A and B are shown apart, each in its own frame.
Chain A
Amino acid sequence: MTTLRPHAEDQYAEELALLAAADDRPRPPGWRLSPQAVVTYLLGDGAKITPKYVGPRRLMEVAVSTLATDRALLLLGVPGTAKTWVSEHLAAAISGDSTLLIQGTAGTAEEAIRYGWNYARLLAEGPTDAALVPSPVMRAMRTGAIARLEELTRVPSDVQDALITILSEKTLPVPELNTEVQAQRGFNLIATANDRDRGVNELSSALRRRFNTVVLPMPASADDEVEIVARRVAQLGKALELPEVPAALEEIRRVVTVFRELRSGMTEDGRTKLKSPTGTLSTAEAISVVTNGMALAAHFGDGTLHPGDVAAGITGAVIKDPVSDGVVWREYLETVVRERSGWLDFYRAARDA
């Protein structure tokens, strides 16, 4: 098997089967698991089921309940807060299929959300069922599955509004064939949207009303974040077949600390206020900084992760705007990092980077 990244339902097929076997609670129509089991799948049970999302339980409960009440779910958050990750796993756990996906872009057309045509057939046969090319949403409606729409707010407003009928009437009319596709039970939609895109293509209030919003926050505590980064780095390292580098927890903690402090504008001990850079400094970026550092250490270093290996990556992640972020970063290095014991190597490396 050479798939770079298997779908969630394949990768975690075992866990899903385990949960389904033990699940004796009522399942909403069209669901593979009961809502409680879905929450367990996402958050782990401390034994066989690994946690997919590390964060407040109540958020996952709200998300799952939302889907159970047949309201569409909008996952909102700054980049790198595991929106897509959560939506993929929700779809995998609820309908066993996370592939009904539309990537929202500025160029997403209405056909991508409703249906398109196979033009060769359309010309040859005229509008027939066979000439119709269903969108992932249409297929999800037919099969009673969860459809996913990424980056909803990047989609132009007029295209977004194609969702209104689908979400409120749960039907997709096809006027050309004088038919409609009615959603089967179990159909629902999970959309993700980026907080930073607010105001680009603001959802119309009619559409907004069809969604329940769950805001995914940045990890609450440093330990949570270290755990997330360490786990993902290990998984990624395996997937990318990087040479084995002992994931130095100390360096991960350092990266996470730097990210958290700059993000929150406050040192972890709460004593010093800091300026925040323009970038988001998400957990995802922390993961990539560490992975990158490990690749550096494995291929060009001595095989252990040193402060120098992550320093360059951090500098690049922090300084998104060369002028203002540069000041922020320098001020942080001089006022916080320099005086912290045990951080001298990192300070030097970061200053030179």
Chain B
Amino acid sequence: MPERIYGIRHHGPGSARAVVRELTANPPEVLLIEGPPEADDLVRWVADGGLEPPVALLGYAVDDPGRAAFWPFAVFSPEWQAIRWAVRHGVRVRFFDLPYAYRVAPGAGTGPVAPSPTAGDLGGAALNRTVLGRSALSGSALNRAALNKAALSGATPAAMIEPDPDEQVEPALDEPPLRPVDPIGELAAAAGYDDPERWWEDVVEHRGVPVFEAIAEAMTAIRETSPEDPDDLLREAYMRSVLREERRRHEEIAVVCGAWHVPALTRKVAVKDDTALLKGRPKGKVAFTWVPWTYGRLASWSGYGAGVRSPGWYHHLFTTGDDVVVRWLVDAAGVLRAEGVPTSSAHVIEAARLAEALATLRGRPLAGLAEVTEAAEAVMCDGEPLRAELIARRLVVGERLGSVPDDMPAMPLVRDLTAQQRSLRLKPAATERDLDLDLRQDNDLRRSRLLHRLGVLAVPWGQRAATRRGAGTFREEWRLLWQPEFAVRLVEGSMWGTTVASAATARVARRARDATTLAEVTELVELCLLADLADAYPPVLAALDTRAALDADVHHLMAAIPALARTLRYGDVRRTDVAGLATVTASLLGRVCAALPSAAGSLSDEAARQLRDGMDGVHRAVGLLADDSLRERWLGTIASLAARPGLHGLPAGRLTRLLLDAGRLDGAEVRRRLRLPLTVGTPPAHAAAWVEGFLSGGGLLLVHDEALLSLVDDWLADIPADAFDSVLPLLRRTFGGFDSGERRAVGERVAGGRAASADTAAAIDAERAAAPLTTLGALLGRRLTGTKGTA
């Protein structure tokens, strides 16, 4: 037979073994592999010892590295084993899948994907198909849901390339798949196997039938009844044309491709049909490189949707000859021992017995992953989920990280940074240099964002310097110093994304998810604002919501609110979209309102002070939010709190004051409450705290707030002479906290009589007032008009 077509299961160790076996038995002259043809030149690196799987072929559009796709290979991937075999035996390797250039055709990436169902699949949709299908995948393809979802996100290229697999949107699986994602896996599932590899082992290998012929037959049967994916047809047309080309040159051809494609490659199709399908497709310019990959990213739980669930187990299956179960359990015991959990050989023996018993109970010839995992869990883990998780992480998935040779071409993240440095005229230099940014200017704003984003990626190229002059929010001073090790950090950062923005977004999102305290997340919210990471907002806000829900300390909750309110109110200075933040802030406030009453009981002096400060902050923030229903809710909460008898004096006084300012209490009621602390039933310390709470906030207010001053004045005058002696120390204590200037001003106001200021509020001369508006506008960075001049 001149050509042999090996239909494999992607990342299936069983397939990998079989392929190598077949190749050794029937060495071909040329080897065709399902993969991007642009990467043909990179095959030679496989011979390099520095290229160690798991690695991935990374392809990206040269003019837009944000559009990229990965083709990962593990040591147990049949493609990898086939390539290795070919490189060792000097056989030419050729990737013969549809070129990636078709996927990044110009026009497809600049705007939303072309909606045409047939042409569109060559645009962003097809790209995503590749990203989600080929990179993720265990089957040679994808599913409709992933496709649709990805197509929708086509407008934002950064989303196409999973910047961080963990953040990747899970494809909605409820939509019917266009065709099986992992056809062999589904065959196995139909046969009642949860692990396709064991099905391969039991059903395919042990039957003694020629493996690949059996698979080809099964696939032919399946494809006859499955719907066809237009993208598959296109890819297969290309594959067939390459195959035809090779047929003219070689006799012995071996093809390694996903089992799904086998029937299509053997089918008789007229040459002109294929050429017609492929003709006139636009092509983009793409570049390829090898990047290190990890088993964690291969595994589905990193969010890939259709990934290999247990790369570590597959690695074990592929590299371990016999005693698979026992060796696995010995490894599991080793993992536990390394963590200080005493695990004896007796444990391993018992676990092996249990695994066998389970396999027998389930009527399986050999224990598989499910059995060994359950056995290890029952015998070695003592019911501690953490240990089971440890085994899953270290062994089932594995933490293996691949490596690429040092002399590999540059990463897209580095290219993106270089491009930005050029366009922002910000050259990296090994000498320290100060940079003064004016955020009102576009270029400076972009520079600031870039520096902030690099900071997120642990590339502290610029350090914030203390602002020397002015407190303007539009000034930012940086100290720049480029250090050689940043190159390494950038490569590390590449795992988060291919552009600085997307990588920073993914990094922030991850940090938000891993954050353990509310303060960390609030910090991230501000960071998102500074670095303009709009896409990171949803996960950060979600994390904020989560942390807020779990944080039982109302002080933390209260401390978080002011910063959020500031961001909400002033966020637009940086032209950032802060949608969603309002909802979270509102819910945070709701939680504070719910928790505040119980947090306000039995306070020590220190706690009372903390509470007062917190409530002050929240109160100011509520003012900034300008949301009437929130304000109502907050005022309602503090009103009921202020009326509570046992409340510590400091917050009680403070709340009364806040309510007075908000117009919730009238003068008479406040006067009544003011008098209460001075009656006999109140201990002096409480009274002192109350008065302090009420009047705190500086004497300046007292100077200018006529109503408040008269209220206090009336109250003082009302105090009976004999009680005044005992009240005096309290008052001294409070007023002693004011500046001497303020004290004098208060005194002058009281002595000067009240009427003095009554008629100073003269009519405003609109014309004169309009004169400085231009200057003010320049200072504030926004246009001011004089139409509401009298306001």
Contacts and interface: CB of A to CB of B under 8 A. Distances in A.
Nearest to B543: A273
Interface string B572-600: 00000000000000010011001100100
B350 A275 contact: no
B103 to A, nearest CB: 33
A308 to B, nearest CB: 23
B91 interface: no
A234 interface: no
B767 interface: no
A292 B343 CA distance: 47
Contacts of A66: 354, 357, 378
Interface stretch (B117-125, B381-389, B688-696, B699-707): B381-389
Given A326-B598, A334-B590, A36 B361 contact: yes
Given A35-B361, A64-B361, A71-B350, A213 B550 contact: no
B546 interface: yes
Contacts of A71: 350, 353-354, 379
B361 A272 contact: no
Contact of A275 (B347, B360, B379, B552): B552
A214 B550 contact: no
B361 A327 contact: no
Contacts of B375: 62
A212 B595 contact: no
Interface SS of A by simple majority: helix
A65 B549 contact: no
B594 A65 contact: no
Given A58-B374, A71-B350, A215-B383, A275 B550 contact: yes
A68 B552 contact: no
The 8 A-B pairs of least Cβ separation, nearest first, read A273-B549, A213-B383, A65-B357, A76-B383, A212-B378, A215-B383, A331-B594, A273-B546
A331 B595 contact: yes
Nearest to B373: A58
B516 interface: no
B382 A65 contact: no
Contacts of A195: 383
B383 A214 contact: yes
B382 A213 contact: yes
15 contacts: A35-B357, A61-B358, A65-B360, A66-B354, A68-B357, A68-B361, A71-B354, A214-B378, A215-B385, A273-B549, A275-B552, A334-B590, A335-B587, A335-B590, A335-B591
Contact of B378 (A62, A275, A331): A62
A208 interface: yes
B354 A212 contact: yes
A275 B590 CA distance: 14
A74 B377 CA distance: 12
Contact of A323 (B385, B546, B598): B598
B275 interface: no
A62 B594 contact: no
Nearest to B601: A323
Interface string B381-413: 111010000000000000000000000000000
B791 interface: no
Given A61-B374, A335-B591, 7 more contacts: A58-B374, A62-B378, A208-B382, A213-B383, A273-B549, A324-B552, A335-B587
B668 interface: no
B700 to A, nearest CB: 38
B346 interface: yes
Interface in A33-47: 35-36, 39
A69 interface: yes
A330 to B, nearest CB: 6
B143 to A, nearest CB: 22
Contact of B550 (A62, A265, A323, A326): A265
Contacts of A299: none
Contacts of A331: 591, 594-595
B167 interface: no
B344 interface: yes
Interface in A161-187: none
Contacts of A74: 383
Contacts of A35: 357, 361
Contacts of B378: 62, 66, 212-214
B347 A209 contact: yes
Interface string B19-32: 00000000000000
**Which of under 10, 10 to 19, 20 to 34, or 35 or more describes the interface residues of B?**
20 to 34
A74 B360 CA distance: 21
A330 B595 CA distance: 9
A274 interface: yes
Contacts of B354: 62, 65-66, 69, 71, 212
B596 to A, nearest CB: 10
Contact of B346 (A61, A64, A65, A209): A209
A205 interface: yes
A159 to B, nearest CB: 20
A66 B371 CA distance: 12
B232 to A, nearest CB: 34
B358 A205 contact: no
B38 interface: no
A327 B598 contact: yes
A331 B588 CA distance: 11
B362 interface: yes
B374 A62 contact: yes
B271 interface: no
Nearest to A195: B383
B210 interface: no
Contacts of B346: 209
Nearest to B546: A273
B482 to A, nearest CB: 42
Contacts of B347: 209
Given A205-B342, A214-B383, A273-B549, A327 B587 contact: no
A215 B385 CA distance: 9
Nearest to A327: B598
Contacts of A212: 350, 354, 378-379
Nearest to B593: A334
Interface string B345-379: 01100100110011011100000001000110111
Nearest to B591: A331
Most chain A CB within a 10 A radius of its CB, from B360, B370, B382, B548: B382
Nearest to B359: A65
A68 B378 CA distance: 14
A36 B358 CA distance: 10
Interface in A181-226: 195, 205, 208-209, 212-215
A170 B550 CA distance: 49
Contacts of B342: 205
A305 B344 CA distance: 55
Contacts of A208: 382
A198 to B, nearest CB: 10
Contacts of B353: 69, 71
Contacts of B546: 273
Contacts of B550: 265, 273, 275
B421 to A, nearest CB: 41
Contacts of A273: 545-546, 548-550
B209 to A, nearest CB: 30
A35 B370 CA distance: 18
